[in-house]
Amino acid sequence: MAITQKHNIRYLKKQFSSAKGSVSSLQLVALHVGIGLSVAAVRPLAWLYFLGTFSFLLYQLIRPNVKPVHILMACAYLIGAEVFLRMTGAFVFNEIGKYSVMFFCLIGMYHHGIKRGAWIYFVFIILMSLSVYITYLNIPIGENFRKTVLFNLSGPLSLGTVAIYCMDRQISFKGLLGILNALVYPIISIAFYIFIRAPKTSEVMESTGSNFAASGGFGPNQISTILGLGLFVLFVRLLIPYKNHLLKLIMFGMMGVFAFRALVTMSRGGVFTALIMMFVFTLLFLLFSPTKLKAKGIVKLSFLFVGGLVLWSFTVIQTGGLLVNRYQNQDVQGREKDITTGRGDIVAEDLALFNESPVWGVGPGMGKFIRFERTGKMAAAHNELSRMLGEHGVFGVISLLILILVPGFKFLFKPANLLIIPFVLFWFLTVNHSAMRVASPGVIYAFSLLSVNYAKKKKPSLSRQQAIQTR
């Protein structure tokens, strides 16, 4: 495995140095800054942005010569924009993002087929659907069966569909960088939208709880998650740099913007997830990269560490010191708080449901109704893993094993994607605190199944006679 990984890493700098399109990247950054500022000034423009984006992506994907990387870039862009479109009211209903990436991947399957190993994710989808009948039998009178089931299964279904398309799908290293770029552009719009819409940070910091005002009036958990993902992408592009020096400098500044806005949400999940992903990728990078690239990476990491300390200090001042209390798990007075903010109780209840019904589970979506009957609190699960156990029983257990073991075996025996571990970590850590409210955990998980080709394509050599003819 080490030889293959080292062989792959050695192509990173060469591959990128031959990549083009920096000017268009600068234009796209400017465009998305403009989108964020424009929608912040005139919110109904979000509808125009959504319709224009979806129409453009769909037009690109229905062309006869569409490539797999185009499908994947469309999915990446949409999950980057999903939270922005939710927070600006551009989605008619919240699950559009998940259905859209499923639709894009179905188009991809039509164009490019399905790899043999993808059958395992068909099994995953079937297993996650078996307990629907239990919900049908037991759902309380007056509750909407379709909405209840789809709210809880749209996440796993989108994960399974995108995973079927991505499984062993070959893309180039340049294509992988394109996917990461497509993901980060709309997150730039989110950050600048929040800068305009959110009040001054020092004016809205009154407690150590998650702060909706500092998150632009939307869910701090989701804002923190998507900004953390963007921070990780830019961290990867710091170590595997953009060719254009101006673009490199701008994106380094964007890292600071993402980090600040993520911190002041006071929602820790997305920040911790980003830091863990960055730490793991750093280990892989330093372990397998050639000496020259490793030396440059260490210098960059040193500057980044100093910059991080400065940013943390600035943010602590802006929050009146409450940020420190939050990350020390304390309230305003410095008293200890429940670190899980009630989510641990829901996990315990999900596990109790699994013990009560270990085979079929209680049915997707039924957990919150049973909790309401027993505790009087209508709380949906925040932990997708415990929800799968409680509501799907043994089928949930098998599904979890599939999700963990498939990328695990790919990393151990067929390591053709250096981002396997960070991508799987994003899925695992995110669904532990935010379930699958948005499409990004499932899509990023599916990206871990891609097979990345890091070698340059060799140009076919001409015979002497052909060479003479071409003169």
Q: How far is CA 450 from the centre of its chain?
A: 15
Largest CA distance in the chain: 85
What is the span of the domain harbouring residue 206?
2-456
Number of other CB atoms surrounding residue 2 within 10 Å: 9
Is residue 171 classed as helix, strand or coil in its secondary structure? Answer: strand
The number of residues making up the chain comes to 471
Task: With respect to residue 461, please indicate whether it lies within any of the assigned structural domains.
Answer: no
Both tokens of residue 467? 């060479």
Kindly tell me the sign of the dihedral angle through the C-alpha atoms of 188, 189, 190, 194: positive
Given this model, what pLDDT does residue 341 score? 60
Burial class of residue 338 (count of CB atoms within 10 Å of its CB; 0-12, 13-18, 19+):
exposed
Task: With respect to residue 172, please indicate whether it lies within any of the assigned structural domains.
Answer: yes
| Contact by Cβ (8 Å): 395, 132 | no
Indicate the number of domains in the chain: 1
Given this model, what pLDDT does residue 373 score? 81
CA 222 to each of CA 10, 258, 329: distance values in angstroms, whole numbers, following the listed order: 36, 13, 20
Distance CA 39, CA 188 (A): 13
Task: With respect to residue 387, please indicate whether it lies within any of the assigned structural domains.
Answer: yes
Query: Among candidates 408, 398, 393, which has minimal Cα distance to 445?
Result: 408
Task: With respect to residue 468, please indicate whether it lies within any of the assigned structural domains.
Answer: no
Distance CA 456, CA 50 (A): 36
Alpha-carbon dihedral 189, 195, 199, 201, rounded to 10 degrees: 120
Given this model, what pLDDT does residue 9 score? 46
Given this model, what pLDDT does residue 340 score? 56
Given this model, what pLDDT does residue 50 score? 95
H or E element at residue 181: helix 173-197
Given this model, what pLDDT does residue 138 score? 85
Is residue 212 classed as helix, strand or coil in its secondary structure? Answer: coil
Distance CA 50, CA 91 (A): 8
Both tokens of residue 8? 């792959």
Given this model, what pLDDT does residue 19 score? 41
Task: With respect to residue 196, please indicate whether it lies within any of the assigned structural domains.
Answer: yes
Task: With respect to residue 43, please indicate whether it lies within any of the assigned structural domains.
Answer: yes
Alpha helices in 266-383 (DSSP H): 268-288, 291-318, 322-327, 343-356, 367-375
Task: With respect to residue 324, please indicate whether it lies within any of the assigned structural domains.
Answer: yes
Task: With respect to residue 464, please indicate whether it lies within any of the assigned structural domains.
Answer: no
* List of residues 6+ apart from 206 with CB closer than 8 A: 332
Is residue 417 classed as helix, strand or coil in its secondary structure? Answer: coil
Burial class of residue 441 (count of CB atoms within 10 Å of its CB; 0-12, 13-18, 19+):
buried
Given this model, what pLDDT does residue 284 score? 87
Regions of the chain where pLDDT drops below 50? 1-7, 9-21, 462-465, 467-471
Distance CA 346, CA 105 (A): 33
Distance CA 345, CA 357 (A): 18
pTM: 0.90
Given this model, what pLDDT does residue 167 score? 95
